[in-house]
Amino acid sequence: MAYFHPSRPSPYMPQRKRLTLKDLAAEIDVHYSTVSRVMNPATRHLVAEDVAARVLAVAEARGFSPNRIAAGLRTQRSGLIGVVLPDIANPVFPPILAGIEVVLAQQGYVPIVVNAGSDKGRQRFVIDQLLGRQVEGLVLATAEREDPVLEYCLARHVPVVTVNRGEGSGSVSSVVSDSVRAMQLTVDHLMELGHRRIGHIAGPASLSTGYLRREGFIQAVRRHRLRRADWHVVEASSYSRNAGRVACAQLMTVFPALTAIAAANDLVAMGCYDYLREQGLRCPDDISVIGHNDMPFVDALTPPLTTIRIAVHEMGEEAARLLLRKISKPASDPVTVQLQPHLIVRGSTAAPRMA
């Protein structure tokens, strides 16, 4: 006795033949290559608009969808790009993704987005899965300054671009914001307000953003000739709100005389808000706080957060362009695109009580 799963058709029932490109071309009475071009968004512009419209209308009416897997095996192109994120909940990444998608869509590509976390084993597993699905290239937002996963990709000759974070060696193209310049803007703003005792909560030194913002801060306070006793740096364990609160407690313990805090990103700055409230301190009356990234809704905090705005959407667009360039010209040299940040002054910074 045979048993049939209700979601599976009976073997005794005739199966509907899958409609092919050739079938569709014969029905519309156009050449097979014309239908092929129309069904590929990257080549649709090569066909006259009225013909393309007729092909698409008949294809929709007949429920036709091209077999992308088979086409990929024939052409060695899948039209897929892997985008690997360290933390999809971080508000800095959605606008980067939006920028990536805009450029990829123009060329007929589709991103596969994966939240890989910070564990290198997990990241390598994710990349293996993406490569198994024939992605044509990778955009990595997970890069570290010395990154074995990036080396793993390069050893397999996969087109790769890093975004938001660089890796330091210049072996791949990257799109980043100028973190050193950002910290110069930060310190300049605080000095202009009259602050002379400034603390910096740095991001993890293993990341280019943490390392370069720390370097930028140190360069800036030295340029302003602050005495070594008048500035201090602590490192947050991650770019998170709780890590910011913990680091703020540490900073206030070792440097209680400070009047301003330059945080490595907006989530860290929010952690500073939390700790200051716990201690009965007011921002900016007692201590000014400045963030970095200008993520959504920081203008709605109490007080609204002064921060550094980075061009996140443009960052994603540039990363996608660089990757498509690498795919089409594998021998092209790596380039680094460094976007300029801007200071956004709001209510969390003010002149210190005792200048």
Please count the structural domains in the chain: 3
Cα distances from 211 to residues 40, 124, 174, 235, 241, in angstroms, run 43, 24, 16, 10, 19
Q: Which of 285, 294, 299, 280 is nearest to 349 (CA)?
A: 285
Question: CB of 307 within 8 A of CB of 167?
Answer: no
DSSP strands (E only) in 178-223: 198-202
Mean confidence (pLDDT) of the chain: 88
pLDDT at 15 over 50: no
The angle that helices 21-28 and 49-61 make with each other, rounded to 10 degrees, is 120
Query: Per-residue pLDDT averaged across 91-105, rounded?
Result: 95
**Torsion of Cα atoms, 299 then 305 then 306 then 308, to 10°:** -80
- Shared domain check, 173 and 183: no
For residues 144 and 213, the model is more confident at 213
**Predicted confidence band of residue 42 (pLDDT cuts 50, 70, 90):** low
**The pLDDT of residue 352:** 95
Q: For residues 246 and 328, what is the distance between their CA atoms, to the nearest angstrom?
A: 47
| 18 burial type by CB count under 10 A (0-12 exposed, 13-18 middle, 19+ buried) | exposed
**Predicted confidence band of residue 8 (pLDDT cuts 50, 70, 90):** very low
Q: Strand 307-309 vs strand 342-344: parallel, antiparallel, or unpaired?
A: antiparallel
Instruction: Render pLDDT for 154-201 as a digit per residue (tens, 0 to 9).
Output: 888 899 999 999 887 788 999 999 999 999 999 999 999 999 999 999
For residues 31 and 94, the model is more confident at 94
| Boundaries of domain holding 31 | 21-66
**The pLDDT of residue 4:** 37
- Shared domain check, 215 and 135: no
For residues 108 and 339, the model is more confident at 339
In a domain, 158, yes or no: yes
Strand partners, 235: 202
In a domain, 354, yes or no: no
In a domain, 348, yes or no: no
- Shared domain check, 265 and 222: yes
Query: Per-residue pLDDT averaged across 326-350, rounded?
Result: 95
Q: Which of 342, 321, 315 is nearest to 165 (CA)?
A: 315
- Shared domain check, 154 and 94: yes
Of the listed ranges 40-44, 153-157, 215-219, 350-354, the one predicted with least confidence: 40-44
**The pLDDT of residue 253:** 97
Of the listed ranges 9-23, 55-69, 315-329, the one predicted with least confidence: 9-23
In a domain, 146, yes or no: yes
Widest CA span in the chain = 90
Instruction: Render pLDDT for 128-149 as a digit per residue (tens, 0 to 9).
Output: 999 888 899 999 999 988 889 9
**The pLDDT of residue 269:** 98
**The pLDDT of residue 168:** 76
- Shared domain check, 293 and 331: no
Q: Which residue do the tokens 């007080």 mark? A: 303
Question: CB of 197 within 8 A of CB of 257?
Answer: yes
In a domain, 211, yes or no: yes
Q: Which of 292, 291, 284, 228 is nearest to 259 (CA)?
A: 284
**The pLDDT of residue 22:** 81
- Shared domain check, 332 and 290: no
**The pLDDT of residue 6:** 43
Helix (H) or strand (E) holding 289: strand 288-290
- Shared domain check, 268 and 208: yes
Q: Strand 231-235 vs strand 260-263: parallel, antiparallel, or unpaired?
A: unpaired
- Shared domain check, 170 and 81: yes
Q: Which of 209, 156, 214 is nearest to 330 (CA)?
A: 156
- Shared domain check, 201 and 99: no
**Predicted confidence band of residue 110 (pLDDT cuts 50, 70, 90):** very high
**The pLDDT of residue 41:** 63
Q: Which of 195, 198, 191 is nearest to 251 (CA)?
A: 198
Q: Which of 297, 232, 231, 238 is nearest to 271 (CA)?
A: 238
Q: Which residue do the tokens 């974070």 mark? A: 165
What CATH number is attached to the domain comprising 257? 3.40.50.2300
In a domain, 347, yes or no: no
**The pLDDT of residue 1:** 36
In a domain, 229, yes or no: yes
For residues 98 and 9, the model is more confident at 98
Question: CB of 108 within 8 A of CB of 42?
Answer: yes
pLDDT at 2 over 50: no
**The pLDDT of residue 135:** 92
Q: For residues 96 and 295, what is the distance between their CA atoms, to the nearest angstrom?
A: 12
- Shared domain check, 210 and 144: no
In a domain, 351, yes or no: no
- Shared domain check, 319 and 171: yes
**The pLDDT of residue 65:** 63
- Shared domain check, 302 and 187: yes
**The pLDDT of residue 11:** 46
Query: Per-residue pLDDT averaged across 291-315, rounded?
Result: 96
